[in-house]
Amino acid sequence: MLKVHSLPTLRSPVLLCALSGWPDAGQAASGAIEYLIMKWAPRRFAELESSRVYVQTTNRPRSKMGQGGQRRLIWPSFAFYALPVPQAPRDLVLLVGPEPDLRWKTVAGAILDLAGRLGSDLIVSLGAYLAPVSHAGPVVLTGRGSRPELRRALSSLGLRDGKYEGPTGFLTVLQDVTTQRGLASASVWAASPVYLRELSNPKLSAALLSIVERVLRVDLGLTELEVAGRDLERRIDSELSARPDLERFVRRLASDGDDEIDLEDLPDAEDLLEDLEQYLQRLSDEDDI
């Protein structure tokens, strides 16, 4: 199930994990890991066998045209990257890919078996969920730690544990298996504006990684990501300035600060959200050009 090309030599690495798909609103979590891969070029050293963990009609391969008109297929992959961080107390292993469709407990066990071979005793997962929050102002974050020192660290940064109950994803299973094995785990989640569901949001990615920086005492070099986040916020504000009705609605979402509001308390909220999402779709279309 897990193919390891060569085992890296790392210093008690922390496994930093993000999945695209259901637990990745605004591509915030996967975007955070992909930014680190782009910036630091870590070495890919292992991946899960896609045929064992993905349903191909759900996570389809992508067709890409190469040089000379040759078409090639890019299959979904859950890959592991070794990122030495000499100036930090510990190195990192980055895990990123689509959320597995199959064998969640087996996949979690394979990840933790590899963690044991690497000498890792801490798994940190990143995620994002759609919520009735504004794109403006501070990002709403929640966090959970399996041990008192992790809970204290997250609490000192203003992160509360989420109150969600209901259907859950692979990351929760991974945390559960991690705890069963006596290892430490932490998770950080960002609230993504429900009206930006089709737009990659670097502001959220930067917010997630800033928590990782402070908890792990590491400098990840987030300047470019933060600049991209501010640029996106400016572009959204510019678009909304031409629609005062939508601008007022977004301002109302921001007025509750860190507390998510109940959309049922807002008149015509459903219609306004639909109008707002369609109106801002042009920003996503611009990014695809």
**With 60 as the cut, is the pLDDT of residue 185 above it?**
yes
Mean pLDDT of 81-110: 96
Mean pLDDT of 30-52: 96
- What is the per-residue pLDDT for 92? 98
Residue 111's identity, in one-letter code, is: I
Given a contact cutoff of 8 angstroms between Cβ atoms, the answer to whether 103 and 170 are in contact is no
Given a contact cutoff of 8 angstroms between Cβ atoms, the answer to whether 80 and 45 are in contact is yes
pTM for the whole thing? Answer: 0.90
Residue whose structure tokens are 């031409």: 242
Mean pLDDT of 29-38: 98
**With 50 as the cut, is the pLDDT of residue 289 above it?**
no
Mean pLDDT of the chain: 90
Residue 234's identity, in one-letter code, is: R
- What is the per-residue pLDDT for 189? 97
C-alpha torsion angle, residues 210, 213, 219, 223 (rounded to 10): -10
Give the number of other CB atoms < 10 A from CB of residue 41: 10
- What is the per-residue pLDDT for 287? 59
Given a contact cutoff of 8 angstroms between Cβ atoms, the answer to whether 16 and 94 are in contact is yes
For every residue of 56-108, which 3-state class applies, written as one string?
CCCCCCEEEECHHHCEEEECCCCEEEEECCCCCCCCEEEEEEECCCCCHHHHH
C-alpha torsion angle, residues 102, 103, 104, 107 (rounded to 10): -110
**With 80 as the cut, is the pLDDT of residue 282 above it?**
no
Q: Range with the lowest mean pLDDT among 9-18, 56-65, 164-173, 265-274?
A: 265-274
**With 90 as the cut, is the pLDDT of residue 141 above it?**
yes
What do you get for the CA distance between the two ends of the chain, in Å?
37
Phi, psi of 70 (to 5 degrees): -75, 130
Given a contact cutoff of 8 angstroms between Cβ atoms, the answer to whether 198 and 279 are in contact is no
